[in-house]
């Protein structure tokens, strides 16, 4: 990716501008022609197309208003979605189209996040049974443990970790150490939150911190994959 | 808006200083001093060769971006409608590029980026130090992987600062500030506007904020907040395992929602306890109430760290 990025041209910029419209189905011959020649833009285009296809294959299930209210309340309490403007401005600050790998990972997380919070007809798990029995508050953000079907945020993080391992050798030692310290700190919090949830499945703070730790870990790994050391 | 072709300008003149070797056999001290006196101007010239100073005329509210690998970036606001940069690089194999958009007339955008020309250059040799003066209202975006960033006295629109391991210090900033350092500490002093500060292992330190909104999160760092909570302010501080210290004046008026799962909560403020929302946490680990009339909203959260609320 670095090699292609070094040769970024004005055509790449134009392609980036037109790509959204192209993905929306508009005829953009320039994009078609450019992605045949430019590896970087081809990868971006293919990633977006793959995401679009994957998202289209997900079942559409409308969660109940109560679930959305809980999710919103929880995220609002965390400050994550405090302001619509803040979130979008933050997303745009990521300069998305220049970073296909982290973008793809985040998009997967978002899709999975929606999927995870959508109501399903799960057989009642031990955790939710104990929640009901204890009369505890419904938990808006489902723990990773509740996700079935083999794909989860955990898995996305694992894939990012593998990509990081492949990349870490090229990082400067102090940069690598900073990333490793941070990841180790996040791993500790993931482990402790999981332990807490084993003992106390209704612990909403542990759910919150677990979700936050996974999200932060994905962010840190994405940042490491995207890092430009001026070369 | 029609995209303007950026003017590309090489800022650094990478001069290699070649030193002649002189063979000396007699009067070693005298000759040594003589050689030093010859070498000194040469060294100064070499140093000057790695230092560049430029000034750009700027449009109102210009956008300035800096992308750097290592080194200190200092940005100050000033009352001129110009962007002034002084930059020095440690190695002649490191170069700082600037892009000015549009290429002529007052700049709407000025981009600075450091390039390592030789892959063998590593560590401190990659250092490029920047010192910038920018107009008030500048939209600022800084990425300094392993360097420190300091912003002083700037009334900006938006400022985004990201580092991996570098320290970020922002003082007397007004506007929307987004700062993130994965492993470095973040200090925000007398900021006004809206502040978002995130770290994983770094400490977060806030002094006398006048912000309407503050969001701060660290995982294993600690949070120290010293100051008042302005009326109507919305403050949300969260950490996982580090400790959190809130030191505020007796006149602070705020509504408090504090909770920690495994840590302790130590409060020395006379808080009027309010009804507690249903929570699995014991009263020793959570506190809901108001101080004075509760004009600001303060949310403090920790998983295993201790939260201390003290009076200044």
Please name which of B145, B203, B71, B116 lies closest in space to residue A177, comparing C-alpha atoms: B145
pLDDT digit string (tens) for B2-12? 333 344 444 44
Report the DSSP pairing between strands B107-116 and B223-226. Answer: unpaired
- Closest chain B C-alpha to A95 CA, distance in angstroms: 12
Residues B218 and A208: their CA atoms lie apart, in Å, by 14
Say how far apart CA A67 and CA A210 lie, in whole Å: 19
Domain edges within chain A: 10-56, 83-225
pLDDT digits (tens, 9 = 90+) for B147-195: 999 999 999 889 999 999 999 999 999 999 999 999 999 999 999 999 9
Residues from chain A that touch B109, judged by Cβ atoms under 8 A, are: none
B259 shares contact with chain A (CB less than 8 Å): yes
Q: How confident is the model at residue B130 (pLDDT cuts 50, 70, 90)?
A: very high
- Cβ separation B164–A227 shorter than 8 A: yes
DSSP 8-state assignment for residue B174: E
Q: Write out chain B residues lying below 8 Å of A3, CB-based.
A: none
Lowest average pLDDT, out of A90-94, A146-150, B103-107, B127-131, goes to A146-150
- Backbone phi, psi, residue B242, to 5°: -80, 170
What's the pLDDT score for residue A38? Answer: 86
Residue B97: pLDDT band with limits 50, 70, 90:
very high
Q: How far apart are CA B10 and CA B13, in angstroms?
A: 8
Q: Is there a contact between A80 and A30 (Cβ–Cβ < 8 Å)?
A: no
For residue range B194-252, list pLDDT tens digits in order: 999 999 999 999 999 999 999 999 999 999 999 999 999 999 999 999 999 999 999 99
The answer to whether the CB atoms of B303 and A189 lie below 8 A apart is yes
Cβ–Cβ of A178/B238 closer than 8 Å?
no
In this model, does residue A192 exceed pLDDT 90? Answer: yes
DSSP-derived 3-state class of residue A69: helix
Q: CA of B187 to nearest chain A CA: how many angstroms apart? A: 19
Chain A: residue nearest B4 by CA? A10
SS3 B87: strand
- Under an 8 A CB cutoff, do A196 and B261 touch? yes
CB B161 within 8 A of CB B170: yes
User: Cα(A124)–Cα(A152) distance, rounded to whole angstroms?
Assistant: 19
Angstrom distance (rounded) from CA A153 to CA A212: 11
Task: Answer whether B205's CB lies under 8 Å from B224's CB.
Answer: yes
Which letter, b or e, does each residue of A104-127 get, where b requires 16 or more Cβ atoms within 10 Å of its Cβ? Answer: bbbbbbebbbebbbbeeeeeeeeb
> Chain B contacts of A93, Cβ < 8 Å?
141, 160, 178
Which pLDDT value is given to residue A105? 64
In B, minimum Cα distance to A171 occurs at: B122
Across the interface, which of A93, A137, A178 has its CB nearest the CB of B182?
A: A178
| Mutation choice for B interface testing from A91, A131, A177, A230 by most B CBs within 10 A | A230
* Sign of the four-CA dihedral A62, A66, A72, A77: negative
Interface of B with A in 134-163 (CB under 8 A): 141, 143, 145-146, 158, 160
Write out chain A residues lying below 8 Å of B99, CB-based: none
The predicted-structure confidence for B262-308, as pLDDT tens digits, reads as follows: 999 999 999 998 866 555 555 568 999 999 999 999 999 999 999 99
B interface mutation test: which of A182, A191, A214 has the most B CBs within 10 A? A182
With beta carbons under 8 A apart, name residues in chain A contacting B259.
205
| Least Cα separation, residue B41 to chain A (angstroms) | 31
Interchain contact, A228 vs B116, CB within 8 Å: no
Chain A residues touching residue B69 (CB < 8 angstroms): 229-230
Handedness of CA A164, A170, A172, A173 (dihedral sign): positive
Instruction: Please judge whether B201 and A229 are an interchain contact, meaning their C-beta atoms are less than 8 angstroms apart.
Output: no
**Burial of A98: CB neighbours in 10 Å, binned 0-12, 13-18, 19+:** middle
Which residues are B112's β-sheet partners?
B66, B98
The answer to whether A73 touches A140, Cβ cutoff 8 Å, is: yes
Taking only the tens place, the pLDDT of each residue in A29-50 is 888 888 888 888 888 888 888 8
Residues 6 or more apart whose CB falls under 8 angstroms from that of A158 comprise: none
Residues of A in contact with B165 (CB under 8 A): 174-175, 178
Measured distance CA(A207)–CA(A228) in Å, rounded: 34
pLDDT digits (tens, 9 = 90+) for A66-94: 566 566 666 766 665 544 444 444 444 45
Minimum-distance CB partner of A182 among B143, B182, B262: B182
What's the first-to-final CA gap in chain A, in angstroms?
A: 12
CB-CB neighbors (< 8 A) of A216 in chain B: 200, 219
A14 to chain B: closest CA residue: B3
Which residues is B298 bridged to in the sheet?
B235, B256
Residue A185 is nearest to which of B122, B201, B303, comparing CB atoms?
Answer: B201
pLDDT score of B233: 95
- Cβ–Cβ < 8 Å for B156, B139: yes
pLDDT tens per residue across span A109-151: 666 555 554 443 333 333 333 333 333 333 333 444 334 433 5
> Alpha-carbon torsion B119, B120, B124, B128, what sign?
negative
Q: Is B107 helix (H, G, I), strand (E, B) or coil?
A: strand
Q: Do A206 and B261 touch (CB under 8 A)?
A: yes
Question: What is the C-alpha separation between B47 and A181, in angstroms, rounded?
Answer: 36
**Angle between helix A204-226 and helix A65-78 axes, rounded to 10 deg:** 70
Please tell me whether the interface predicted TM-score (ipTM) of this complex is above 0.90.
no
Distance CA(B281)–CA(A41), nearest Å, equals 51
- Tell me: cis bond preceding B102? Omega within 30 of 0 counts: yes
The 3-class SS string of A12-58 reads: HHHHHHHHHHHHCCCCCHHHHHHHHHCHHHHHHHHHHHHHHHHHHHC
**Is the sign of the CA dihedral B203, B231, B256, A201 positive or negative?**
negative
């Amino acid at each position: 990716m670095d090699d292609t990025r070094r040769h970024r041209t004005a055509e790449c910029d134009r392609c980036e501008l037109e790509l959204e419209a192209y993905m929306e189905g508009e005829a953009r011959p320039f994009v078609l022609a450019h992605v045949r020649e430019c590896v970087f833009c081809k990868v971006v285009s293919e990633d977006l197309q793959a995401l679009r296809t994957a998202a289209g294959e997900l079942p559409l299930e409308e969660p109940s208003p109560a679930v959305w209210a809980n999710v919103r309340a929880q995220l609002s309490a965390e400050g994550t979605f405090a302001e619509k403007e803040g979130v979008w401005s933050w997303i745009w600050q990521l300069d998305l189209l220049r970073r296909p790998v982290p973008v793809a990972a985040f998009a997967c997380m978002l899709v999975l996040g929606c999927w995870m919070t959508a109501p399903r007809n799960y057989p009642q798990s031990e955790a939710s049974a104990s929640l009901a029995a204890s009369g505890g508050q419904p938990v808006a953000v489902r723990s990773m443990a509740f996700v079935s079907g083999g794909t989860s945020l955990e898995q996305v993080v694992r894939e990012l970790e593998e990509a990081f391992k492949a990349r870490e050798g090229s990082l400067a030692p102090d940069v690598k150490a900073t990333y490793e310290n941070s990841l180790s700190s996040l791993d500790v919090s993931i482990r402790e939150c999981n332990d807490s949830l084993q003992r106390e499945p209704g612990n909403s703070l542990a759910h919150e911190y677990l979700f936050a730790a996974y999200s932060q870990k994905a962010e840190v790994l994405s940042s490491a994959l995207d890092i430009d050391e001026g070369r | 808006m029609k995209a303007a072709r950026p003017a590309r300008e090489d800022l650094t003149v990478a001069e290699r200083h070649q030193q002649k070797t002189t063979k000396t056999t007699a009067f070693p001290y005298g000759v040594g001093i003589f050689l030093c006196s010859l070498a000194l101007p040469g060294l100064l010239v070499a140093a000057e060769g790695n230092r560049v100073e430029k000034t750009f005329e700027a449009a109102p509210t210009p956008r300035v971006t800096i992308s750097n690998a290592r080194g200190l970036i200092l940005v100050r606001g000033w009352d001129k409608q110009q962007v002034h940069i002084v930059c020095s690089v440690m190695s002649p194999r490191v170069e700082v590029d600037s892009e000015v958009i549009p290429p002529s007339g007052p700049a709407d955008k000025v981009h600075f980026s450091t390039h390592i020309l030789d892959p063998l250059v590593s560590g401190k040799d990659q250092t490029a130090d920047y010192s910038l003066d920018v107009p008030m209202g500048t939209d600022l975006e800084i990425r300094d992987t392993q360097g420190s960033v300091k912003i002083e006295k700037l009334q900006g629109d938006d400022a985004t600062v990201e580092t991996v391991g570098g320290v970020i210090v922002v003082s007397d900033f007004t506007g929307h500030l987004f700062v993130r350092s994965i492993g470095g500490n973040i200090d925000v002093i007398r900021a006004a506007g809206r502040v978002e500060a995130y770290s994983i292992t770094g400490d977060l330190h806030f002094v006398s904020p006048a912000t309407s909104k503050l969001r701060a999160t660290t995982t294993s760092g600690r949070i120290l907040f010293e100051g008042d909570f302005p009326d109507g302010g919305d403050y949300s501080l969260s950490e996982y395992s580090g400790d959190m210290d809130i030191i505020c004046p007796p006149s602070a008026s705020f509504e408090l929602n504090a909770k920690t799962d495994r840590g302790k909560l130590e409060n020395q403020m006379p808080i009027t306890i309010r009804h507690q929302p249903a929570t699995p946490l014991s009263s020793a680990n959570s506190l809901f109430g108001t101080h004075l009339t509760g004009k600001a909203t303060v949310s403090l959260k920790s998983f295993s760290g201790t939260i201390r609320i003290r009076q200044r």
